[in-house]
Structure 1
């Protein structure tokens, strides 16, 4: 139920978003995998399907829309949908290119606004179809690699709040707002990029298995729920902290991770504490 001690950042969040927040708040080791073919591969390897599948808005601004496919998957599998956004710079270039976006923050006719509004419309379509979304925009905040992080914390927070405000204006109230950075190994702290309790529901780290990552993320989150929004290998309940959820990155990079990711998936899914898709509640009733 929605009364789990954490109110959503969006005061108008619908019941599905509220229940998803509370489900993650009250569970641990909810499993996830980026990309549908890779989630299918996990099932082939282990006999169990990840509870979360992460999709990407990357090509949406170039005309490749997969929203209906996502809705169909959510309806047929009763799984949790997550989205990240490798956002091509609205002024040209890829997601890591230098991008002078600050002048556009107050320009509603800019490509920046157009991109945001396009993605927000697709989020709302999912909401209208009864699908809540773990939305991770502007990810890896303190890594200084993505263009949205290259202008510093203040510009980052302004952009985050703009995306939130445009979502509010559009009536997209099915969003669970996932703030993401690195808990360790960066030049600036995760906390210094946090957009504020009124703009985020989950505080997550990309997991590099530093012993301090769990405590650092908890310290930033305060009363919010945490998670591992992107990691190269699944968590092991026998050895890893009790994160609410984790999402393994795409299998095209499994070999480059230096780990036996397939073997680690087998280990994770052999543990009954790892939550797979078949253990999820009926989200259609939320």
Structure 2
């Protein structure tokens, strides 16, 4: 199960900090698991909850970038959408604090309001007329606006690059489904969107601090080993179901014969760290989702949360070595 993983980054110009993180993850694979928690507001109630219950913090913190989308249609948005955007503003400030002062790992999720044609929560395909299949074609208005949005986000990421802060970058997540506009036109289109971003960010913008995380178990849409450092999937088991997710691991690793690092990009419940310590399914991190998933007992009891964070197999913030 635990074959040796080549930690070399897919980007041959990747920073030394990226190389250090990938070396660490490859050495950790099958020997431990990084605890992670997504937060989508500046309040970060999930971190407070975890610390209150366990006395510890996760080694990896996830941050949401939806409010940084440059084309939010405020004039045609529900109250729920407006509240979500407002509460999400300034989350990059939290990311800076986590990276510079807490010295933890960071990962970004971008629920990207479409470049045009959206209303309400415009990252959902049902709320936009934006056609991703036209966006991969040079010369179209969709392509032009897609690149403009990519460039907008790249400028926000550049300061992290200048400070040599590595980012676990997980773009176009859950592209195996049709619920987001980037997956609505099928896996091949989503694959091309990702590869466009990879070239734009590595070649044009020189964002050599990004660790590229592919997030789909669909073999038809796999982006390729040459543009991906980590393969991951999102999974939401039934409430209070804590396992090693071995079936999901087998499904994910079937997308490529290469021995890639594997991660649980999103999960609704905390995995079973005691079980993982026995089976050694080599997930290198998990990231519990936000709100009730990560800040209540609705999905994971306090007892189970403590069991996970106290287990020797778990890498919490206090156990994370300084990597940058």
Q: Place the TM-score, normalised by the shorter chain, in its bin.
A: 0.7 to 0.9
Residue in structure 2 matched with residue 218 of structure 1 by the alignment? 253
Structure 1 residue ranges without an equivalent (≥5): 184-189
Q: Tell me the TM-score normalized by structure 2.
A: 0.78
Q: CA deviation at 1:40?
A: 2.8
Residue in structure 1 matched with residue 85 of structure 2 by the alignment? none
Q: CA deviation at 1:89?
A: 1.1
* Matching residue within 225, 229, 236 for 2:272: 236
Contact 1:91 1:101 in 2 (8 A): no
Where has structure 1 moved over 6 Å in runs of 4 or more? none
Give the Cα separation in 1 of the matches to 2:113 and 2:165. Answer: 25
CA pair 107-261 structure 1, distance change in 2 beyond 3 A? farther
Moved more, 150-159 or 210-219: 210-219
1:69 aligns with 2:94: yes
Map 1:61-140 onto structure 2 (within 5 A). 61-62=69-70, 64-93=89-118, 94-97=122-125, 98=128, 99-105=130-136, 106-107=138-139, 110-140=144-174
Secondary structure of 1:283's match? coil
CA pair 219-4 structure 1, distance change in 2 beyond 3 A? closer
Residue in structure 1 matched with residue 180 of structure 2 by the alignment? 146
Contact 1:67 1:126 in 2 (8 A): no
CA pair 127-252 structure 1, distance change in 2 beyond 3 A? same
Secondary structure of 2:314's match? coil
Residue in structure 1 matched with residue 63 of structure 2 by the alignment? 55
Q: CA deviation at 1:239?
A: 2.2
Q: CA deviation at 1:208?
A: 4.0
Contact 2:108 2:168 in 1 (8 A): yes
Moved more, 253-262 or 19-28: 253-262
Give the Cα separation in 2 of the matches to 1:140 and 1:72. Answer: 28
* Partner deviation per Cα, 1:15-59 (whole Å, 9 max, x = no partner): 111111222222131000001431232111101110000002211
CA pair 235-45 structure 1, distance change in 2 beyond 3 A? same
Q: Tell me the TM-score normalized by structure 1.
A: 0.88
Secondary structure of 1:87's match? coil
Contact 1:233 1:264 in 2 (8 A): no
Residue in structure 2 matched with residue 163 of structure 1 by the alignment? 197
Residue in structure 1 matched with residue 317 of structure 2 by the alignment? 277
Residue in structure 1 matched with residue 16 of structure 2 by the alignment? 15
RMSD (CA atoms): 2.3
